[in-house]
Amino acid sequence: MLLLNTLGLNLQKIKIAGFYIGIVLLAAGCKLKKTTGKESQAIRAVNEKEIGTGKNTIAITGATIIDGNGGEPVYDGCVIVTDGKIVDVGKNGVVKIPEGAQVVDAKGRALLPGLIDSHFHLDGVKDLPALFLQHGVTSLRDPGAWIEAYDGERQSGKPIPRLFLADPHLDMFPPAYPKDAYVVRDADEAVYQVNKMADRGASVIKVYFRLPSGIIREICNAAHKRGLPVTGHLEVTEAMEAIEAGLDGIEHITSFGLSLQPQIEGEKYRQAVLADNNARKQGRYDVWKKLDVNGQKADSLSKFLVRKGTFVSPTLGAFEYQSPAEGETDTVRLAGFGQMKAFTGKLKKDGVKIVVGSHSMITYAEMGWAYQREMELLVDSGLSPAQVISAATLENARFFRIDDRLGSIEKGKIADLILVKGDPLKDIGAFRNIEKVMLNGVWVKGK
């Protein structure tokens, strides 16, 4: 009897203890929920609900399928699209074509995922996104402009790409581009703005070069809690330091200038730019002309980028310089740009994640063709056409964190597709011959 009474007393104590443990855990859970902020959501284009969805079944037959994964192409392939989704992929004759499907004969053409542009700027140019769509860019990301800047494009009635927008980039005073910047004065302001932008539908956060690594760290922590990647234009903040602070991507190959030169030299450039934003325009070529892009510093940086899994959008077209047909050649710019290309090629050879960003309006491309020029420059830098295609499609989708539904031709993914005349695996220039563009299962070019 005594044993039973003692056992009952112990059970009662266990129940009471459990009750208090539950209260403590509940309180801890409430505190945790309060301090971690809003839950992250899947990254979506701001105009996703504005894009029409194909309602019929389309069979694209006979094309060479280059699926974006970097593997061998499927010759004489067949892709079935139903209700805006890819429902089957394979060899022509093996894939069953549903009864009543619209059949598109694509013999002599290459079928690829829609191109993704990691670095697009509207810059007030009317209908520029629509033009890029006609040239095969089905998704684009503007890494630094108010979301409202795209209202006119969204209301134009013209088909436009999926818009993955950042809202303004984060900078400190004096900002390089005041119209496209949100100026922060400390980490608290920066974190507050990150959450506001996430609430507004931003798909990435971009930091600009005046921000020090301590503030970048707080921005990255806040953005990552919301499920958003952070990318940066650096120049006067050392790249490895910023990446250690949490940066996911680097915009512009020139952002690595400080990492590749002796600190005493880098500090001269850094102070010049901090004193005058415009000092970087010629200064970056002076810096890059002198760099050893195959030396020990370059090797260490490349290995670091591979280890960290950092994405790099070189935007070579923004810095391109060609010898003029007439007049005096700027040998500093010519040599500096050659070094930028060489380092881009080295990064890819070493295994760094290179992606394609057009910068939209560049010196050596006609309006609307900056993306194709960037692809050509990447080939000039030593990347194979197959590597550039993957950089333009699936690798960019991974950078955007949308590769679960875009970036490759796979069953179950959204049908954003392009048909190209010629063989882009042999000649990257074939991307200037885009005959058909499909967005969400709807032909928006070459119906």
Q: Is 84:48 a contact under the CB 8 Å cutoff? A: no
Task: At 254, list the tokens.
Answer: 């020139």
Q: What is the pLDDT of residues 228-256, one digit of tens each?
A: 999 999 989 999 999 999 999 999 999 99
Give the model's pLDDT for residue 40: 66
Position 403 confidence tier, pLDDT thresholds 50, 70, 90: very high
To which residue do tokens 């993955």 refer? Answer: 164
Give the model's pLDDT for residue 6: 41
Q: What is the pLDDT of residues 290-346, one digit of tens each?
A: 999 999 999 999 999 999 999 999 999 999 999 998 889 999 999 999 999 999 999
Q: Give the rounded percent of residues in the chain with a pLDDT score beyond 90.
A: 89
**Among the listed ranges 2-6, 189-193, 352-356, 411-415, which one has the minimum average pLDDT value?**
2-6
Q: Is 290:261 a contact under the CB 8 Å cutoff? A: yes
Task: Classify each residue of 52-79 as buried b or exposed e, where b means 16 or more C-beta atoms within 10 Å of its C-beta.
Answer: eebeebbbbbbbbbbbbebeebbeebbb
pTM equals 0.91
Instruction: Reply yes or no on whether the pLDDT at 22 is more than 80.
Output: no
Mean pLDDT of the 182-206 span: 98
Q: Is 436:418 a contact under the CB 8 Å cutoff? A: yes
